[in-house]
């Protein structure tokens, strides 16, 4: 076994190659698209204060805030009957905010579709504030999350205040490329989406899918850590709808009525989201990003599937394979090969394929293919994987 003192094995993201040659495959926080990074850098040489120092109630910041909201609405096709909020606390904050806003009493029912690490964590947090019922997506024979369960009428309590799902499970490599349609008899129930890791990479049928709330942490596809975009259908807002225990900082109605200014928002982070949305519009919108996502993921999955078992990936149903996070192992998890792969790829400037998480390092490496990763970056990793397999296959 190779010594675990090598930086690559400790999760280092700073290789020995020049910084502009690094390719960051980290699951997040991750890199912004290069043109966005350059536009932010250029803004620091412009006259006047940057958003790092602007008062959140100054006319200069209000213009930034209004632009970020308008640009997101345009790029993501968000209808007028939805409110756009910039919220605090990341995804974990929304795990609590959702039941506190949509369930007035602790006895209110919410249905959670659990098909991976993050939906499980969201369900567990919600169970502190409501009656969180579960549609279990685990494989009955292995106990692993490798598919997405069917949403049937019998599994969804008609009194549910909402139905929750994660559209891309980053750890498990499962993605819903389009939101599911609920059974006809359950379409009155708002659909709640954790889209933290796939937001902006494909179109969203807001009204057709019955989306009630969608939230997305900024730090994977739309910006920096420290702000979350939370989009709420306006009929779910109103006095007396949230739990009386809901803190003001998490209360959707309170923050909507205050136009995102109930307390000091993450000013710089909001500006970055606006710049990312402008970049998306400039390259052709979410349709172009979806095309790129398909191309990036296909480059890696094709290598895995053609490797005659040298590489493996847990999700065999190609309709559910994540375009955002490609999990793979080497020879069923061979430790020595895996460590050699990590070191050699790190030496070439490909970092973030294994990072430390609250859940350990996991059974699989992961290549995360967010908006900051180009098609050329993904092809470079695919080429390295082919070369490595040729050199080390038995």
Distance between CA 245 and CA 136 in Å, rounded? 29
Distance between CA 221 and CA 361 in Å, rounded? 22
CB 158 within 8 A of CB 110: no
Residue 3 has pLDDT above 60, yes or no: no
Query: Phi and psi of 387, rounded to 5°?
Result: -60, -45
Distance between CA 300 and CA 348 in Å, rounded? 17
Q: What share of the chain is helix, strand, coil (3-state, %, to 5)?
A: 35, 15, 45
- 3 state SS of 11: coil
pLDDT digits (tens, 9 = 90+) for 232-290: 999 999 999 999 999 999 999 999 999 999 999 999 999 999 999 999 999 999 999 99
The pTM for the full model equals 0.95
The token pair that represents 268 in the structure block: 């710089």
CA angle 182, 185, 189 (to 5 degrees): 60
pLDDT digits (tens, 9 = 90+) for 105-151: 999 999 999 999 999 999 999 999 999 999 999 988 888 999 999 99
Q: Say what the alpha-carbon torsion angle 154, 159, 161, 167 is, to the nearest 10 degrees.
A: 10
Residue 39 has pLDDT above 60, yes or no: yes
Going along the chain, which residue ranges are E strands?
A: 23-24, 82-87, 109-114, 131-136, 163-166, 168-169, 174-175, 191-194, 211-217, 228-233, 311-312, 325-330, 350-351, 365-368
Q: Which pLDDT score, from 0 to 100, does residue 168 have?
A: 98
Distance between CA 181 and CA 176 in Å, rounded? 12
Q: What is the DSSP letter of 321?
A: B
Distance between CA 259 and CA 157 in Å, rounded? 34
Distance between CA 291 and CA 17 in Å, rounded? 29
Q: Are strands 174-175 and 168-169 parallel, antiparallel or unpaired?
A: antiparallel
Contacts of 41 (CB under 8 A, 6+ apart): none
Q: Which pLDDT score, from 0 to 100, does residue 5 have?
A: 81
CA angle 141, 147, 151 (to 5 degrees): 105
Q: Which pLDDT score, from 0 to 100, does residue 363 have?
A: 85
As a whole-number percent, the residues of the chain with pLDDT over 90 amount to 91
Query: Which of 104, 129, 88 is CA-nearest to residue 215?
Result: 88
The token pair that represents 242 in the structure block: 């949230």
Residue 37 has pLDDT above 50, yes or no: yes
Query: Which of 273, 250, 261 is CA-nearest to residue 199?
Result: 273
Distance between CA 73 and CA 84 in Å, rounded? 8
pLDDT digits (tens, 9 = 90+) for 199-228: 999 999 999 999 999 999 999 999 999 999
Distance between CA 394 and CA 214 in Å, rounded? 47
Task: Give the max Cα distance, the chain.
Answer: 66
Distance between CA 221 and CA 368 in Å, rounded? 11
CB 316 within 8 A of CB 146: yes
**Binning pLDDT at 50, 70 and 90, where does residue 359 land?**
low
Q: Is 285 left (phi over 0), alpha (psi -120 to 50) or beta?
A: left
Please list the active-site residues: 118, 194, 220
Q: What is the DSSP letter of 105?
A: S
Helix (H) or strand (E) holding 296: helix 285-305
Exposed, middle or buried: residue 386 (CB in 10 Å: 0-12, 13-18, 19+)? Answer: middle
Query: Which of 191, 182, 180 is CA-nearest to residue 82?
Result: 191
Q: Which pLDDT score, from 0 to 100, does residue 2 have?
A: 45
């Amino acid at each position: 076994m190779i010594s675990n003192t090598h930086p690559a094995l400790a999760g280092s993201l700073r290789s020995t190659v020049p910084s502009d040659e690094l390719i960051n495959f980290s699951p997040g926080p991750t890199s912004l698209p290069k043109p966005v990074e350059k536009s932010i850098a250029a803004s620091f040489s412009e006259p006047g204060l940057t958003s790092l120092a602007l008062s959140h109630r100054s006319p200069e910041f209000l213009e930034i805030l209004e632009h970020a909201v308008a640009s997101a609405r345009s790029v993501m096709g968000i209808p007028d009957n939805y409110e756009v909020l910039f919220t605090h606390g990341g995804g974990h904050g929304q795990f609590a905010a959702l039941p506190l806003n949509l369930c007035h009493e602790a006895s209110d029912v919410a249905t959670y579709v659990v098909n991976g690490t993050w939906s499980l964590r969201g369900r567990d947090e919600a169970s502190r504030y409501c009656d969180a019922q579960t549609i279990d997506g685990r494989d009955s024979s292995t106990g692993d999350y490798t598919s997405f369960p069917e949403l049937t009428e019998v599994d969804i309590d008609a009194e549910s205040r909402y139905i929750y799902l994660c559209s891309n499970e980053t750890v498990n490599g499962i993605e819903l490329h389009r939101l599911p349609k609920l059974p006809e008899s359950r379409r009155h129930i708002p659909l709640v989406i954790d889209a933290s890791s796939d937001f902006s990479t494909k179109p969203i049928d807001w009204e057709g899918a019955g989306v009630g709330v969608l939230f997305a942490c900024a730090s994977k596809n739309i910006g920096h850590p420290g702000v979350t975009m939370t989009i709420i259908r306006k009929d779910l807002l109103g006095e007396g709808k949230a739990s009386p225990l809901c803190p003001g900082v998490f209360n959707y109605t309170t923050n909507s009525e205050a136009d995102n200014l109930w307390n000091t928002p993450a000013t710089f982070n909001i500006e970055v989201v606006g710049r990312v949305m402008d970049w998306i519009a400039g390259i052709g919108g979410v349709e172009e990003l979806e095309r790129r996502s398909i191309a990036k993921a296909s480059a890696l999955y094709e290598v895995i599937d053609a490797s005659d078992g040298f590489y493996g990936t847990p999700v065999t149903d190609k309709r559910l394979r994540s375009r955002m996070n490609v999990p793979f192992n080497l020879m069923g998890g061979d430790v020595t090969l895996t460590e050699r792969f990590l070191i050699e790829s790190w030496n070439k400037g490909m970092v973030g394929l294994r990072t430390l998480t609250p859940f350990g390092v996991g059974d699989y490496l992961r290549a995360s293919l967010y908006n900051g990763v180009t098609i050329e970056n993904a092809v470079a990793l695919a080429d390295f994987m082919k070369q490595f397999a040729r050199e080390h296959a038995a």
